[in-house]
Structures are given as structure tokens and as C-alpha cells.
């Protein structure tokens, strides 16, 4: 379900278009577990495709009792922007046909990008990182691997910061120009460790110098009175902001990608 995407010129920013444009619902994204509507948004002669997820269509989650999925989606975008990596499509919180909700720019996927694979070998080949064994039927297993891709590695760092509990393969969107986006960030920012992801290939490995620089910047802007802390206020709770600061501090102190813990399933199900 896609329509030609027309990105607004510089005179109208994408954020302005998403926040102030007229939303027209074109259909429902049925595979989504919560209400997700495919829309167009028009503003001052510009138009683009987008996804609108109204708060009214959210299912309550016992382990995410505070805030909303929509608020956390926007918070994930704000953190992504603060890293400078722009790994999350432009996302705003706004009113719409079914009340307040998240509105995110639609990303058309470029086919042919291999980010995940199942291999029969015990070790990943060159250019791949091991995730773990997966059942493939009839009592057989195969090794699930992801690409040894710098874009994925950046996303793994972002997920560690926002405590993403649901990084599936279907949430990875290769786009034009070699860009890669991550979507569906409604179950993030929990105060408890809930990191569940397919991007475990760098677990325990040293962070890149770039990642360390980015984390230091995040630490500064997350301080009381910092720009990012101000943008997150109202989207997630003060306790969740404090937990985000603590995760950044932990990553900087260890200097390494996190490893799976024993109290929470490390890989989301289904993984794709």
C-alpha cells in the first residue's frame, strides 16, 4: 500500500508538513498490532505519504503502563535526531481524524537489500554477524545472521539507548540513497532492561569511536535543561528520561555494545 512520495521543498519542512498538513486516511495497515493508518498529508501545496497511529487505537500493555505508544515513537525520533544519524523517519505528535496520535513520514523500501539471512554453516561468512540458531522445520536449525553493516551498527547503539523491546527484521527499511531507517518504536524507554533485538552481532564488542562521540553528545543534551531533555519532556516520563541517561552512562562506562541479559528474551518473536 504505497503512493508516490513527494518530499516538500526547503520552504516547507517535512516536520511542518507532518505537523500542520491536512491528514487524509487512505487505508489501514492490517498487519500492525495497533491501529496504523496509511494517509496522505497536504500543506501549502505540498503532499507526502505518512503513517498515522492514533492513541485511541492503542492496546494497553501491562509492562508499559505509563505514557503512550505514540509518545514513545516521537521520543525515539527525537533521540535519533540528536545522534545526527537520522535513523528514524520524521515523526511528530499531532491531532488527526481519530484524535491525537503519531504521524510519521512513509518510507518506500528499496528492494534487494540483504540485511538478514539464514545459513546452514556453523559460523557466519564474511560480511555477516551471527544472531543465533533458529528452527527451520522438521527438527532442523539454521544460523540466523545479519549484515555487518555500519548502518545497522548505529541502529544497535540507538536501540541500546532507547531500550528497544522489539527490533524485528520487518522494522528495518532500506531506502533510496543508501539510507536505512528503523520504525515501530512504541515499546521503548522502559525503566527496566527490556532490550530485545536481532542486532546482537556486535554484543560485547568495543563501541566505535563515532558511537562514543555520539553518546557523549547525548549525555550533554540529556542533562537537566538540555535540548533533548526538554524535547522528551511530555513524551515520556521523568523516570524514563532518567533511565535513558543511565543507559547512556553505562554504555560510555563500558565502552562496549551491550550483551543479552538473562531476565528477558533477547530476540523478539516472531523475529521478522
Run means of pLDDT, 10 residues per run, the chain, 272 residues = 53 90 93 90 95 94 90 98 97 97 96 85 89 72 90 98 94 94 97 94 97 98 96 96 98 96 72 63
Place of cell 511528530: 92
Under 8 Å between Cβ of 108 and 175 = yes
Q: Determine the Cα–Cα distance for residues 12 and 172; give it in Å rounded to an integer.
A: 27
Looking at residue 122, its pLDDT comes to 81
Place of cell 540528536: 82
- What does the pLDDT look like over 166-189, one tens digit per residue? 999 889 999 999 999 999 999 999
% of the chain beyond a pLDDT of 70: 91
Residue 191: Cβ-neighbour burial (10 angstroms; 0-12, 13-18, 19+): middle
**Strands ordered across the beta sheet of 140-147:** 116-119, 140-147, 128-137
Under 8 Å between Cβ of 75 and 93 = no
Looking at residue 13, its pLDDT comes to 92
Q: What backbone phi and psi angles, to 5 degrees, belong to 171? A: -95, 10
203's grid cell: 554484543
24's grid cell: 487524509
**CA angle at 214 for the pair 73 and 153, rounded to the nearest 5°:** 70
Amino acid at each position: 500500500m504505497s503512493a508516490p512520495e513527494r518530499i516538500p521543498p526547503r520552504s516547507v519542512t517535512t516536520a511542518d508538513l507532518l505537523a500542520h498538513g491536512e491528514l487524509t486516511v487512505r487505508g489501514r495497515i492490517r498487519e500492525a498490532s495497533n491501529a496504523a493508518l496509511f494517509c496522505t498529508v497536504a500543506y501549502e501545496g505540498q503532499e507526502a505519504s505518512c503513517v498515522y497511529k492514533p492513541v485511541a487505537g492503542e492496546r494497553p500493555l501491562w509492562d508499559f503502563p505509563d505514557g503512550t505508544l505514540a509518545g514513545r515513537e516521537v521520543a525515539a525520533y527525537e533521540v535519533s535526531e540528536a545522534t545526527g544519524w537520522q535513523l528514524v523517519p520524521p515523526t511528530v505528535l499531532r491531532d488527526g481524524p481519530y484524535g491525537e496520535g503519531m504521524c510519521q513520514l512513509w518510507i518506500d523500501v528499496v528492494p534487494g537489500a540483504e540485511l538478514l539471512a539464514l545459513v546452514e554453516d556453523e559460523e557466519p561468512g564474511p560480511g555477516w554477524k551471527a544472531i543465533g540458531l533458529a528452527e527451520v522445520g522438521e527438527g532442523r536449525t539454521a544460523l540466523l545472521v545479519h549484515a555487518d553493516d555500519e548502518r545497522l551498527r548505529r541502529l544497535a547503539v540507538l536501540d541500546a539507548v532507547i531500550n528497544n523491546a522489539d527490533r524485528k527484521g520487518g522494522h528495518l527499511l532500506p531506502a533510496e540513497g543508501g539510507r536505512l531507517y528503523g520504525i515501530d518504536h512504541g515499546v521503548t524507554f522502559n525503566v527496566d532492561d527490556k532490550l530485545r533485538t536481532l542486532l546482537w552481532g556486535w554484543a560485547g564488542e568495543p563501541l566505535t569511536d563515532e558511537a562514543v562521540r555520539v553518546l557523549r553528545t547525548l549525555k550533554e543534551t540529556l542533562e537537566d535543561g538540555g535540548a533533548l531533555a526538554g524535547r522528551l519532556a511530555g513524551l515520556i516520563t521523568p523516570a524514563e528520561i532518567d533511565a535513558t541517561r543511565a543507559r547512556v552512562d553505562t554504555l560510555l562506562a563500558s565502552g562496549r555494545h551491550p550483551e543479552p541479559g538473562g531476565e528477558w528474551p533477547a530476540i523478539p518473536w516472531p523475529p521478522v
